[in-house]
Chain A
Amino acid sequence: MSTQTLRQQLFRVKPVPRDGGETGSTLKRSIGLFQLTLIGVGGTIGTGIFFILSEAVPIAGPAVIWSFIIAGLVAGLSVLCYAELASSVPVSGSSYSYAYSTLGELPAMGVAACLLLEYGVSTAAVAVGWSQYVNQLINNLFGMELPHALLYAPEEGGIINLPAIILIGLCMLLLIRGTTHSVVANTIMVLIKIAVLLFFVAVGITGWNADHFADFAPFGFAGVMTGAGIIFFSFVGLDAVATAGDEAKNPRRNLPIALIAALVVVTGVYVAVALTALGAQATGEFDGQAAGLSAILENIVGASWPGTVVAAGAVISIFSVTLVVLYGQTRILFAMSRDGMAPKVFQKVNPRTMTPVANTIIVSIVVAILAGVLPINFLAEMTSIGTLAAFLVVSIAVIVLRRREPDLERKFRVPFYPVVPILSIIGCLWIIKDLRPITIIVFAGWTALVLVWYSFTGRKNSVLGKRIDTGLIVLVGPGRYREVSGADGVEIDDADAAAVGRGGPGDGSAGSGLAGGSADSGGGAR
């Protein structure tokens, strides 16, 4: 029987291991400013720009340039908040982990709902975009096209998006095999992406026609903001910089510089590509254009080779993005499952492949279904709202944590506090309000569903809750817990209890001290 009140249950805060992540690992600070910036650029470019123009330009017109800048600014503000949270809450991972360690279990579940949407749906969206470029590539290389029925969602007149499903299947196999991408591989992908986009700008600029900018903002400011909502999706990935903070050299200096540098590079590239595309093609032609960048180049040059180059680059880079995002999704569910917030099947690791196989398969099937049957603009908007909501919670968490734990060590502090978090909150809300009502309704419904699930299942299965009930963690004040050692209930930490939920070293899991080369070499002698 639970000994906690409902309020205590909903807002119980996960104690933070004193020395780092879940397994007590301490990572080497090995990532420099340049690499950190590349992680941000690499994680961001490729998810949207290759196909987002055909969704945003019909809504915003040539003023889509402003949509890009507004989306970039809001993303930048949010990511600064993200960086503060990442540097002050020493747990690994996503905004779910941060929320669990600062705001409590219920808000963490809310964030989890957003993240599941953001990651799952964006994988689907990216896969759908990929299929357009694959089709373009096949067409250019072999002179044939995939049947319409196998390339489009039912709402767009097709039956199923087969290439998208195949892409997700390939990524699933790679993830099950335990693919490891190094920072070097990421660097190469980033260079390919940027090279392809620069190639687009270099060739596309030859078709410049200033007349295309005559009707600059056909739907006014509202159009610009709705465009920003769709485009926000293209900035998903900047938060990777913040989450790599654990391994960054001199994070206090490098995190904000890398974030801003990545933001400037990404926004610069986006605006350059958008300007080139708008100069080369009249606004009306963007509507419903598949594999837009390739098509634009082909129209300008009158030959297929530039389009082939862009399509090939897009196919390679979008593949890597799908892999990365699908991976992120499986690991977030893994973390939730270990906390008791998701079914246990998501935390089962296959001993041979060392990967969560069932988790990967389930996630891939769900994402493949979404990619197979939903249209891309809907997927893009759903991703945006998921990200926006997660960023919103992070921005709120920064303010809450500054008030509740003013003395907590923060390796990075948001500049101009509280202006930046407040602007970030306003910016996120503003973009959300301009999204289509159906998107907001589906999002609200989904979040409600997750929270209902939490109240019936997650709340009772919460590993944290069980540990509190069994006396492994004791309540020492409102929202604060102190961890005690497992077997005999002896308290092992007093000094650091003032910090958020600071407790003993880790959760005593078998993996303690395993990562990062610190093997328990003689351990387990019997």
Chain B
Amino acid sequence: MSVVVGVAPGHCSHAAVHLAVLLARSYGQPLVVAAVNAAGWGAGRSLGVDGEYRRFVVDQARAALDEARALVPADIAAQYLVHDASSSRRGLLEVCEQHRAIRLVVGAKDEGPHGEIALGSVVTGLLQSAHVPVAIAPRGFGAGPGARLERITAAYSGSETSAELALASAVIAAESGCGIRLAAFFARPRALAAAAIGLDAEDAVIAEWSATIREQADEILDDIERLDPAPASIEMVVGAGADWGEALRAVDWKRAEALLVGSSSLGPIARVSLGSHAVKIVRHSPVPVVVVPRRATDDYIAQGRPASAG
């Protein structure tokens, strides 16, 4: 098993490599650094201009791998490879399969704001097709030398899937020796102006929502407390704010922390563009996010299933 990190030929995402190192160390897994060569028309056409371009891209990929190599500390077992594939997305998925990855790590889009996660087309595609949880590093992420995950925060939405994911995260957190925190977030919607019921009409709704969420989360926290081994710490938190950015910033974050988000609400692209809560949480997360795609959910839950539960 391994942690796979994807670097783009010609451009090594330092944040992604830092995150991959952090996860590999925390989970005690070797690291696979992969640069996917998606140029050209396949092996049969390596002559002429095509061939020249392919060689250029491979050189770029090697350069990116060298750059990554310099970032990986000696305590991490790592291998570096250039993988040919018809697309970056397909290539990364193939590497994950070949190396039995437990996490695929990628960087956020370069154009996004520093410290936040903008989703590029490759990452968006991966979220829809990956069979492993995809970890995304915010721009400029770095956890410090020798760091291990201090805590996993599992975003809790009140759905059954997110409850199962939270429990699985707790088991994985316990095995990695870090704490677990359940977090529910909300952006306080503005009441519809001119409804003549006051602009703070939403407060009562939010209070009721918060009570419901806490009640449900209590049951999960009870289950987590019974785990053996138990996570280093168990917490529940509700982050509130006028917008999603403020809601995410309203809770404290450790430097080496990951936010786990289930993608059951990410769904097809049409719904992503309409703006589900999960997408907004991912976008505004100040720490790396581990998105468990819908097809990876069962595997992830199985991976974190307590021994007593089979």
Query: Residues of A with Cβ closer than 8 Å to B?
Result: 20-23, 25, 27, 39-40, 42-43, 86, 92-94, 97, 178-183, 185-186, 236-237, 239-240, 243-244, 246-247, 323-325, 327-328, 331-332, 334-335, 338, 347-352, 354-356, 509-512, 514-526
Contact = CB atoms under 8 A, between A and B. Distances in A.
B52 interface: no
Q: Give chain B's interface residue range (CB within 8 Å of chain A).
A: 35 or more
B159 A328 contact: no
Contact of A511 (B195, B210, B221): B210
A21 B246 contact: no
B166 to A, nearest CB: 13
B200 A515 contact: yes
A517 B250 contact: yes
B204 A178 contact: no
A182 B189 CA distance: 9
B234 A511 contact: no
Contact of B186 (A239, A325, A338, A354): A354
Nearest to B158: A351
Given A180-B189, A180-B192, A331-B201, 19 more contacts: A20-B200, A23-B206, A39-B193, A42-B193, A43-B196, A92-B197, A186-B193, A324-B193, A327-B192, A334-B204, A334-B208, A351-B209, A354-B189, A511-B209, A515-B203, A520-B237, A522-B251, A523-B237, A524-B214
Interface centre among B159, B191, B225, B277 (most CB of A within 10 A): B191
Given A516-B188, A519-B240, A92 B196 contact: no
B190 A243 contact: no
A241 to B, nearest CB: 9
10 tightest CB-CB pairs across the interface, nearest first? A511-B207, A351-B158, A43-B194, A519-B250, A328-B195, A180-B189, A510-B211, A524-B236, A186-B193, A240-B194
Nearest to B243: A517
A220 to B, nearest CB: 34
A239 B204 contact: no
A526 B188 CA distance: 26
B61 to A, nearest CB: 42
Contact of A515 (B202, B225, B235): B202
Contacts of B209: 349, 351, 354, 511
B240 A515 contact: yes
Nearest to A22: B204
6 contacts: A40-B194, A93-B201, A243-B199, A519-B239, A519-B247, A521-B237
B240 A518 contact: yes
B302 interface: no
A324 B192 contact: yes
A22 B197 CA distance: 13
The interface residues of chain B, by DSSP majority, are classed as: mixed
B81 interface: no
The interface residues of chain A, by DSSP majority, are classed as: loop
A393 to B, nearest CB: 15
Contacts of B194: 39-40, 42-43, 186, 237, 240, 324
Contacts of A244: 193, 198-199
Nearest to A323: B192
Given A92-B203, A352-B159, A510-B211, A239 B196 contact: yes
B241 interface: yes
B198 A338 contact: no
Interface centre among A179, A350, A510, A520 (most CB of B within 10 A): A510
A329 to B, nearest CB: 9
Contact of B240 (A39, A94, A237, A517): A517
Contact of A355 (B159, B205, B242): B205
A92 B189 contact: no
A520 B240 CA distance: 8
Given A23-B204, A352-B157, A514 B192 contact: no
Given A43-B193, A522-B237, A23 B252 contact: no
A512 B210 CA distance: 10
Contacts of A324: 192-195
Given A247-B199, A517-B240, A526-B225, A240 B193 contact: yes
B213 interface: yes
A30 to B, nearest CB: 10
Given A351-B213, A351-B216, A519 B189 contact: no
B154 to A, nearest CB: 14
B216 to A, nearest CB: 7
Contacts of A40: 194
A239 B198 CA distance: 9
A94 B252 contact: no
A347 B208 contact: yes
A510 B237 contact: no
A349 B205 contact: yes
Interface centre among B157, B205, B206, B208 (most CB of A within 10 A): B205
Contacts of A22: 203-204, 207
A246 B158 CA distance: 32
A511 B196 contact: no
B212 interface: yes
A179 B204 CA distance: 17
B241 A519 contact: yes
A517 B158 contact: no
B218 to A, nearest CB: 9
A309 to B, nearest CB: 24
Contacts of B242: 516-517
Contacts of B246: 517
Given A240-B196, A351-B209, A519-B247, A180 B204 contact: no
Given A39-B194, A509-B211, A526 B234 contact: yes
Interface centre among B197, B201, B203, B214 (most CB of A within 10 A): B197
Contacts of B189: 178, 180, 354
